[in-house]
A and B are shown apart, each in its own frame.
Chain A
């Protein structure tokens, strides 16, 4: 299924967050796949990653893509890459996302992501887009989130607010 997309030089094809028990906490897909295909990817990749012994290399091969994963406390952050992409940089991308979550939630833990999953997605959408890094500055992402949250929490209708 991935091999048909010849020209998609994404940084990433998907991003998955899951627990050691195999519970999915976040799924972001950067290529169009059917529900069935998505379920298969989740099943296979999760099984591969959860089977890895503790001090393993963070890269493994699955079909025609490279899987890069890193464990943070009880959550695995896992992404699939094109063969020509830079795995080391991808580790930095995963790390940056964790930092952003941490900044936003303050000492983030899995429960934060469970109970505020939509926020995790909003933060992700300020950091990555279409599988590529969107904003390289941590501060800029934080500021955007703050502003968007503020916007959301006001009860006033849009029509009444001045433009930003």
Chain B
């Protein structure tokens, strides 16, 4: 091709390319290129030698390989100004490759472009138009717009089509210039040349999208567009424009796009294109991609305008057919389209649910992803069972990057449409077994909350989880839930008989073996081991024979390196040794966890994963409330007159254990308070004090402080004016059922004689239903070796009105 070599010594383009390609290493290549660039630079500096276009072409090749070529920018400018077409051609190419609107050099070619736009030779004009449309800056566009408009009206087809797309670029760069091109664009629609027509349609689309008023004006062209389209669809074979039986698919698609824009939100326009769209939809041959491209655009148009329902159904059915197409591309775009309309045309899309679900099994990752999105959107109460089967099947074999999304989608669907609790629990377990590593953190407490709520299923659940645990202890979330259940419902596990599953005999040792395996496994995360240890501890009140084994496990972990585990083990040890009388109550069955209750956050409510041990020295007052086993607590309820009012022990009994500090080591004998040791007595609030109790020298005053609309803090202060010291002084409180109560730890438990020291205790109340606030307080202490108890009812609180608000 490039046979004429210049007088210059530089190597013609193709020889250079050969030389570069034969370099064996990157280093060698760089060497060749450096040499060539040096030669090219030298050539640029010389006068016109006839080989300039070769040099620039060489530079452009080097640029394409990724090497710097900015020293060629000025050469481009010079070449463009040359009278020779060969040089202009390369010069303009160079400008498009090396210059962009941000470079100063690009301004320098404005004049050349201007001149070349009115050149006598259309191929020169074409170069200018092409370059302007490629990298013309806003300024250049403003400058040359009138010239482009002129070319749109008075030139041959070759130039007109280029001018049209050049106008598109101008309008994108400088929106206000749109107005200038409207008349010309309108008249171009009556051209016969397809290239010009196509350019006109593209230009009109751009003008309409930029300016709503222009759009209004162009609506009048809908009948013309319909005519043109009809001509294309119904005409016979046209060799020049035929692509696999479709006449000019590019133009057809563009016209359909314009019709979409004009028909959007406009009944009249939509009506007038209805028939045409139906015709295209039914007549277009869908055996090849090109036909499907036109059908696809038709469907998009139908769904976007105000089409009549019959046409909409037709469109969705086309998408449904696409789903069955062998071509993966077509299935993919069908699903993206269905995804867009699953909200608005839900029922129509539901009809194709079967096919969509089948696409979950497609080999292609893109198709799978789309199918997952769409399947999740199509889940409803009526199809939940069958859909979930498919989704779970998908989850077991889906690509790793989709697992988290699939798992969370399944959880959401299960939560919304679960037909039964057992199904819900089974589903969540299945997900944990299959994809436990990809689920979110809140899944564990969520599932636990669900399980506690399904009380009839506790036996079934614990058996199922136990079996799962035996099979696989690597999925942390599953293991955590399983441990929690075994701890909590261990008694049910050991009983062996369960209606819903086959009976299997689980011995105490079996259960403890399972938990110990988790404790010792290197696969278990620290949090999981925490779960396992606490579960082991809980079992101590649910089994009969192997308590010693538990004792020894717990004591071993008292010297564990993991601080978290060590702390727990030490606390549990303490529970065994010093507070054995409290153990049963502390470890008893937990109440049902309410969703979004204060205790239901981050798993801490279950008392297991205590990620941040409370730093405040004030510990919760629960231990004092639970000195008596459960049945004696109920006695307090009787005092309050029946079941309406219940003691409020707080959401999670297990928190007791986590609340104890680690001061136990080194404390000789001592009582509970040493363990809680070292907190400051609560400040007496300056709020008004009311005497609530006065007997035997013991007085109890209280003051209140409103914290919020429903929240209140009550401070009880006890004092002893008698002559003898009082020890083991404790207060217990009960409030009406809907009121939440939270007792903070008291300042102490001894009231020395003659009021030398006081005991204070804070009680936090929350009265969301704003009921009449009452509080019953039980006072107990030991005086000279004899225990004493008394009760007082507080009906009014200082600082609140009569209704206790």
Contact = CB atoms under 8 A, between A and B. Distances in A.
A91 B289 CA distance: 8
By Cβ-Cβ distance, the 8 closest A-B pairs, closest first, are A88-B293, A163-B120, A129-B165, A89-B293, A136-B250, A135-B195, A57-B366, A130-B133
A93 to B, nearest CB: 8
Nearest to A117: B61
Given A135-B198, A148-B126, A164-B121, 10 more contacts: A9-B205, A32-B135, A86-B296, A92-B243, A118-B93, A129-B133, A130-B168, A136-B250, A136-B251, A137-B195
Contact of B158 (A26, A144, A151): A144
B194 A137 contact: yes
Contact of B64 (A58, A91, A117): A117
B101 interface: yes
A137 B121 CA distance: 22
A148 B123 CA distance: 7
A116 B66 CA distance: 18
B172 A56 contact: no
26 contacts: A7-B175, A25-B64, A56-B364, A57-B332, A57-B364, A86-B257, A86-B300, A87-B329, A88-B293, A88-B330, A92-B249, A115-B14, A117-B60, A118-B57, A118-B93, A125-B130, A134-B162, A134-B198, A135-B161, A136-B241, A136-B248, A140-B240, A151-B85, A158-B83, A163-B120, A163-B121
Contacts of B165: 129-130, 132, 134
Q: How large is the interface on A (under 10, 10 to 19, 20 to 34, 35 or more residues)?
A: 35 or more
Contacts of A97: none
A146 B296 CA distance: 35
A160 to B, nearest CB: 10
B297 A86 contact: yes
Contact of B166 (A8, A32, A129): A129
Interface in A137-164: 137-140, 144, 147-148, 151-153, 157-159, 161, 163-164
Interface of B is mostly: helix
B209 A7 contact: yes
A152 B89 contact: yes
Contact of A32 (B102, B248, B293): B102
A60 B253 CA distance: 22
B348 interface: no
A130 B122 CA distance: 19
A8 to B, nearest CB: 6
Contacts of A130: 133-134, 165-166, 168-169
A9 B66 CA distance: 29
Contacts of B114: none
Interface in A30-57: 30, 32-34, 39, 55-57
Interface in A69-108: 86-89, 91-93, 96
A32 B100 contact: yes
Interface string B58-102: 001100111000000000000000011110011001000000111
A125 B102 CA distance: 22
Q: How large is the interface on B (under 10, 10 to 19, 20 to 34, 35 or more residues)?
A: 35 or more
A59 B289 CA distance: 14
A56 B365 CA distance: 8
A128 B84 CA distance: 24
B654 interface: no
Contacts of B17: 114-115
A119 B60 CA distance: 12
A158 B257 CA distance: 42
Given A9-B209, A57-B367, A115-B14, A158 B330 contact: no
A69 B665 CA distance: 70
A163 B162 CA distance: 19
Interface in B132-178: 133-135, 158, 161-162, 165-166, 168-169, 172, 175
B129 to A, nearest CB: 8
B113 to A, nearest CB: 15
Interface of B: 1, 14, 17, 21, 57, 60-61, 64-66, 83-86, 89-90, 93, 100-102, 120-124, 126, 129-130, 133-135, 158, 161-162, 165-166, 168-169, 172, 175, 194-195, 198-199, 202, 205-206, 209-210, 240-241, 243, 248-251, 253-254, 257, 289-290, 292-293, 296-297, 300, 328-330, 332-333, 363-367
Contact of B1 (A26, A116, A135): A116
Contacts of A88: 289-290, 292-293, 296, 329-330, 333
Nearest to A89: B293
Contacts of B169: 130
Contacts of B64: 24-27, 117
Contact of A147 (B65, B123, B363): B123
A109 interface: no
A137 B133 contact: no
Contact of B83 (A8, A39, A134, A157): A157
Interface of A: 7-9, 24-27, 30, 32-34, 39, 55-60, 86-89, 91-93, 96, 114-119, 121-122, 125, 129-130, 132-140, 144, 147-148, 151-153, 157-159, 161, 163-164
Most buried by A among B129, B330, B333: B333
Nearest to A30: B134
Contact of B249 (A30, A89, A138): A89
B120 A152 contact: no
Contact of B250 (A30, A92, A139, A161): A92
B89 A132 contact: no
B123 A151 contact: yes
Contacts of A164: 120-123
B86 A152 contact: yes
A84 B190 CA distance: 28
Nearest to B369: A61
B254 to A, nearest CB: 8
Given A148-B123, A152-B86, A132 B168 contact: yes
Nearest to B198: A136
Most buried by A among B122, B241, B329: B329
A92 B250 CA distance: 9
A137 B330 CA distance: 25
A122 B65 CA distance: 19
Given A134-B162, A137-B195, A122 B172 contact: no
Given A59-B366, A92-B290, A116-B1, A157 B84 contact: yes
Contact of A133 (B126, B135, B198): B198
Given A56-B366, A144-B158, A158 B84 contact: yes
A91 B121 contact: no
Contacts of A147: 123
Contact of B289 (A92, A96, A136): A92
Contacts of B205: 9
A87 B333 contact: yes
A136 B89 contact: no
Contacts of A136: 194-195, 198, 241, 248, 250-251
Contact of A137 (B100, B122, B241, B253): B241
A148 B89 contact: yes
A106 B206 CA distance: 37
A87 B85 CA distance: 37
B236 to A, nearest CB: 17
B155 to A, nearest CB: 12
B209 A134 contact: no
A118 B243 contact: no
A158 B123 CA distance: 12
A45 B452 CA distance: 50
Contacts of B240: 137-140
Nearest to A148: B123
A145 to B, nearest CB: 10
B209 A56 contact: no
B121 A151 contact: yes
Contact of B253 (A86, A125, A161): A86
